Structure 1
């Protein structure tokens, strides 16, 4: 009888575990249908930021002060990571112990993806590194733009940020790239509808003197936000021009133009 009860208990435990795993996979499948900008907006919405956290603009770009809000660090100062004599650009990183092994694998896959299409090589930190990316699970998803010097936090919160697309997106920020909709030539391709933008969020659509690297405006860029980003009323905040029916903001990984401008900037 005791053996039968133990068997029943084990079977019930396995059933519950299977149900839990199925539900978890369902949640992941639902998220997998979202574009990177939708994932970022969902992960960073309704967060209460403390005084010791960086200011965020554009939803996920960290800045050191209000003075940086309308400036592009890549044009106001040097922001690139240096190239070595072998032609590679080595960017040191450290992954904190916030993450499980499965979560680390997602991050490492994103880091290593750059080596397949560029001269960028993310590598683990060494004791003599002066500048490095500290990949942490902080309050939401965010990164500074370009190389800042010293320890530089890239936040990939365990809740909502651990997807291949979001890892690539934040790493592109760390390499020096802004959002597509803030490009200097944005008004030729996107019309911003400020009347639909949440109060206090209009600055997220300010144009800046971006480094476009001679590439065309890219509706399919992993850095392009979706048409309802920061909407207060469920109406579009951005409409493509001249054709309003063009699909945009749906990327789940880097586009060919994202790769081209990265290789141009770093002369890969």
Structure 2
């Protein structure tokens, strides 16, 4: 009996090790957006607006206060006019003062290993930039805590604590670096003003009601500080982000970069350069400028007043004269590594592993905007031919608040078409394009996989 128990214990331990290895293998094959989506513990995590708490959430994990969102939408309309330069000062207020980010880690929430992952992510930000982190439980700070998924506010809110939520599926170093990146002030790479020169957004593979997540921001919102578009950025989503059919939604114009987008490991060289420029890490240096560094290697002056260039091996950056900078193990060697994607495909499938559990909890009715698109099989809507339905239970209330024509118009057009009166076939959609939220067309699109022949460009 004792021998049997010992054998059983060893076998159980063996299975646990195999399971852990499988989990690691699964995570390592996912892109950043896939990790974030899979980490959600409820479809409600993908809701656009939490009006009770005054929060808007877009692109899976980026949070804004209602005031921030209102300002962002206004700024996004100023590109190309004389006010752009003046408005850039406003963006600077989202950067952390004195280049320091106070932080706290919620007690009794993370395991020893998970706390170490948070620390490793912080260590890399401190190693590669002049941004420092100091523990604090009071005042203006970020707070690493549990949540419904992975998320962060963009930039410094400037009052009290602002949450960086890390559900269990988010607690790897690369994902934490990504969420800290939002708090530092980074947007997603594929929303840059110049993105159309480098990637093509394939609208035919994106459900109309989530297309607002591919909004391109103007130069009044995003300042690239002269750093080129970065396929390898820790802030870039993968090829199938928000796909409805498993096909690509983001296609690189240069195909050699297609497998690079979606980096989930750590900072790229250009991430580091951008953060150093954004926070003026070399402002105290004398006798040396970026012009002193090799331009053919995109060299820049780092926080130590030396020229930094692309790194090799495990480090994304090194001194241009060959000297090392730290010993980070999360770097991507400058290219983000090869990313393997294995999307779910089919005409009526569940696109999230949690669909059945969420459907059993009644989320098909509470959150139809997500569930009837990505959990069609679990919600039993495969053969449904809909009329013009609202995709959110709050649509009628929001219509009464004036959101149909206000700062939420892009979301409301495709998610609250009935309440907002956008159901007629002659209604316009984004930027004058025909509206795609016609119920029959929409469900034909998502259930048959037929391409919607609409070309959308900002």
Same fold (TM over 0.5): yes
Q: Residue by residue, what CA displacement relative to the aligned partner does 1:64-115 show, whole Å, maximum 9, x if unpaired? A: 23636746799544101112xxxxx221111112111111111111111112
Q: How far off is 1:24 after superposition?
A: 1.8
What RMSD in Å do the two structures reach over aligned CA positions?
2.3
Query: Is 2:37 aligned against 1:41?
Result: yes
Q: Which has the larger radius of gyration?
A: 2
Structure 2: distance between partners of 1:188 and 1:9: 63
Q: Does 1:259 align with 2:272?
A: yes
**CA distances 1:104-163 after superposition (whole Å, capped 9, x unpaired):** 11111111111211111122115xx421111011000000000002110001111x1011
1:95 corresponds in structure 2 to 105
CA distance in 2, matches of 1:110, 1:151: 19
Q: TM-score, normalised by structure 1?
A: 0.87
2:117 is matched with which residue?
Answer: 106
Residue aligning to 2:64: 63
Contact 1:197/1:230, CA 8 A, preserved across alignment:
yes
Query: Unaligned stretches of 5+ in structure 2?
Result: 77-86, 282-458
Distance 1:265 1:69, change over 3 A: closer
Offset, 1:46: 5.7
1:47–1:139 contact (8 Å) kept in structure 2: no
Distance of 2:94 and 2:235 partners within structure 1: 18
Would you say 1:24 and 2:34 are equivalent positions?
no
- Identify if the C-alpha distance between structure 1 residues 20 and 162 changes in structure 2 by more than 3 Å, giving closer, same or farther: same
Query: Take 1:238 and 1:224, find their aligned partners in 2: how far apart are those partners?
Result: 10
Question: Which of the numbers 219, 222, 239 marks the counterpart of 1:227?
Answer: 239
1:143 is paired with a residue whose SS is: strand
C-alpha displacement of 1:182: 0.5
- Would you say the 8 A contact 2:114–2:172 is kept in 1? no
* CA positional deviation for 1:231: 0.9
**Unmatched segments (≥5 aa) in structure 1:** 84-88
Q: Does residue 1:202 correspond to 2:191, yes or no?
A: no
1:72–1:174 distance in 2 versus 1, CA, 3 Å? farther
Tell me: CA distance 1:35–1:265, structure 2 relative to 1, closer, same or farther (3 Å).
Answer: same
- Equivalents in 2 of 1:239, 1:189: separation in Å? 9
Q: Would you say the 8 A contact 2:143–2:162 is kept in 1?
A: yes
Other structure's SS at 2:170 match:
coil
Change (3 A) 1:134 1:27: same
1:189 aligned onto 2:165: no
Change (3 A) 1:71 1:195: farther
TM-score relative to the length of structure 2: 0.52
* Residue of 143, 162, 170 corresponding to 1:152: 162
> Given the superposition, is the C-alpha separation of residues 17 and 117 from structure 1 closer, same or farther in structure 2, using an over 3 Å criterion?
same
Counterparts of 1:212 and 1:9, CA distance in 2:
61
Paired residue total: 255
Which shows bigger deviation, 33-42 or 115-124? 33-42
SS in 1 for 2:134: strand
**CA separation in 2, counterparts of 1:7 and 1:173?**
54
